[in-house]
Amino acid sequence: MESLDQAGSLRSEQLHGGRSGDDFAEPRGGSLAALAALVRTIAQVAPWRFAWTIALITLFSLTEGAGVAMLFPTLQLAGYNLESQGKVGHYARMVGNAFTAAGLHPTLPLMLSLYILVIAARSLIDRLRNVSDAQVHRRLEDVMRRRLYKAISDASWQFISRSRMSDFNHALTAEMERITTAAAFLTALSANLLMGALYVGVALALSVPMTLTVILFGGLMTVALSRGTRRIEELGATLSRQTGRMYAAAGDHLQGLKTAKTYDAVARDFELFSEVSRQIADTYINVEREQATLSSWFEFGSALALGAVLFAALELFAAPPAMILILILLFARLMPRFQSSHQYYRTIVHALPAFTNVCAMEQRCRAAAEAPGPPGHKLILANQIRLNRVSFAYGAGVKPALSAVDMTIPAGRITAMVGPSGAGKSTIADLVMGLLEPTDGEISVDDARLDSATRRGWRTQLGYVGPDTALFNLSIRDNLLWARPDASEAELTQALRASSAEEFVRALPDGLDTIVGDRGAMLSQGERQRLAIARALLRKPALLVLDEATNNLDFENEARVLGGIAGHARGMTILIIAHRPSTIRWADLIYVIEDGKVAESGRWEDLASNGSGRFRALCVAQRQVA
């Protein structure tokens, strides 16, 4: 619980880019709307860095203009008389006047020196641009990932529990990389368009008809190839769905690998996984095929456009030779800009579904967010936790998981819930911990109602250990301190001793500094559970919830652990959920839950001696009583 509270304390400007969270709304209206939303998001996330990148792109384009301007004196030095070359002569005189105003006389050494300076400036600007661009799109990735994770963390537990974790993982990793790709190519597209606009401007100044011919050809090619662009966008959306399936399949198949090997079903398991992998490979191949086809057609169209310009210049407009030479140089550099710009745009369009997907997921999470409440408002548990006619359903039209449950959990005592799987025990625990909100009825801690105003403060006082132990790939010490960073060495030792984990931890080569591996893979299941119990005890909680927390321990170790908790946690309120009656033999109060209701309650001795009771039937089935 504490990690969620810590995530909520991140500075607003870091997470929101200085704007409201509503600005990152899911884009609607196709690729252009998504592209506009991506640009707005970049501008929100890194406004000054984004503006600086655009300025560098502009400067980079101006160096191209300086190179073009140097063509005129260079041609004159090469022996071309530009004075009688129409507009070329006019612009040549303008450049010459500019050199004269600067006190310079064009010579070959001077032009070479200026050329070297322009290239040096261009290289420096290009370096600054690349670094600034990387900062922009990596900042975008970082902020969007943290925003999404916070939205997931702030969502209600009911929403999270009904979602696939692989979908969240996919959006936080693979989809973020595709968003970074889109942002990077967006900058490249902007640079190309600016430089293309510069060339078009110079070409228009020299010959409007021929330049319009090239622009017309470029526009016609873009329209003609728009269907292929839409196809690439569709394939991008397909790829998002398929990579999401891949993340889910990878998790499912790796977790089930032990069973597959045990069943000698590795070949069948491999084939199922391979089918998902093949589909992704086929989609990527289709994308590359479409990209290659469009590039080929665009290159063919570019050759046609250049041929049309030459024909018009020679046969229709009788352009001077110097103008033809300069226009050829301009268009030879302009047409690749057209082609690469279209390719960049196609790449962006292919990656945009990832941006749309992440924005949509963030919106869904925000729509399912828990009602905000003051985190510092703590409840005082001195007497009891009371469930008064509490009912709960996981969705409209779904059979209620709980129906009119009345329960009292006495403070400073050990209360247990037992019953078959699906009876509603964990749902009650989630309600008591404030993870779920009752559909009907109310829960109170002493006389204070557990609601949106008190829920966050209540969670800071909880300890929880579930059946699936979650450990981080860190040291044992770090895993313990995650729950309570200010704990002393003595408190760590005390918590380990109470959970019967001290002995095996000390036997490890690095003791408390031993790395536990992915999800604690370097430890046994029982060792992981004991560490999780130690971590919960370290918090010194007002309420400790043990939900099947010892299901991986043998009876001897279970007795040691539960006895250690009882000795360490005198006066602590403990709620235990178990399937086997042996786990709760030492509880002060036992509730038998069946079909979402309290079937019976009382002390072990009273319930076990009730010949017609449900608890006695459970004990007999598990040979706890004769």
Question: Model confidence at 18, in pLDDT bands (50, 70, 90)?
Answer: very low
Q: What is the mean pLDDT of residues 132-151?
A: 88
pLDDT score of 139 more than 50? yes
Q: Which among 583, 619, 620, 613 is positioned nearest to 598, based on CA atoms?
A: 613
Phi and psi at residue 414, in whole multiples of 5°? -105, 115
Rounded CA-CA distance 548/529 in Å is 10
What span, in angstroms and rounded, lies between the C-alpha atoms of 366 and 148? Answer: 9
Residue 67 has pLDDT above 80, yes or no: no
C-alpha span between 149 and 171 (Å, rounded): 10
Q: Please check whether residue 165 is in contact with residue 216, taking contact to mean a CB–CB distance below 8 angstroms.
A: no
Strand 462-465: give its sheet, edge to edge: 462-465, 543-547, 573-578, 414-418, 589-594, 597-602
Higher-confidence residue: 564 or 390? 390
Tens of pLDDT along 96-113? 666 667 666 766 676 667
3-class DSSP assignment, residue 587: coil
pLDDT of res. 547? 86
CATH number for 373-461+541-626: choose from 3.90.226.10, 3.40.50.300, 1.10.1330.10, 3.40.640.10: 3.40.50.300
373-461+541-626 matches 469-540 in fold: yes
Contacts of 561-570 with C-beta under 8 Å, sequence gap 24+, read: 561/499, 561/500, 561/530, 561/533, 562/586, 564/497, 564/498, 564/499, 564/500, 565/498, 565/499, 565/533, 565/537, 566/414, 567/498, 568/494, 568/495, 568/497, 568/498, 568/537, 569/498, 569/537, 569/544
pLDDT in tens, 54-65: 888 878 777 766
pLDDT in tens, 310-358: 776 666 666 666 566 666 666 666 667 777 777 788 888 888 888 988 9
Whether the pLDDT of residue 196 is over 90: the answer is no
The answer to whether 467 and 579 have CB atoms below 8 angstroms apart is no
Q: What is the CATH number of domain 469-540?
A: 3.40.50.300
pLDDT for residue 626 is more than 70: no
- Cα(339)–Cα(336) distance, rounded to whole angstroms? 5
Assign 10 a pLDDT band (cuts: 50, 70, 90).
Answer: very low
Q: At what angle do helices 174-206 and 47-69 cross, to 10 degrees?
A: 30
116, two tokens: 């070297």
State the pLDDT at residue 387.
Answer: 92
Mean pLDDT across the chain, nearest whole number? Answer: 77
Rounded Cα gap, residues 249 and 284, in angstroms: 18
Assign 473 to helix, strand or coil. coil
Residue 371 CA to residue 379 CA, distance in Å, equals: 18
Joined tokens for residue 527: 């060792």
CATH code assigned to 2-367 = 1.20.1560.10
For the cut 60, the answer to whether the pLDDT of residue 84 exceeds it is: no
Lowest mean pLDDT among 98-102, 446-450, 464-468, 568-572: 98-102
Averaged pLDDT for residues 295-300? 72
Predicted local distance difference test score (pLDDT) of residue 170: 84
pLDDT confidence tier of residue 8, bands split at 50, 70 and 90: very low
Cβ proximity of 129 and 62 under 8 Å: no
Region 278-287 average pLDDT: 77
Average pLDDT over residues 70-92: 57
The identity of residue 454, as a single letter, is T
Segment holding 600, helix H or strand E: strand 597-602
User: In the prediction, which pLDDT does 441 show?
Assistant: 92
Domain boundaries, the chain: 2-367, 373-461+541-626, 469-540
What pLDDT score was predicted for residue 5?
A: 34
Q: Average the pLDDT over 583-597 and give the result.
A: 86
Best CA proximity match to 455, nearest among 446, 440, 443: 443
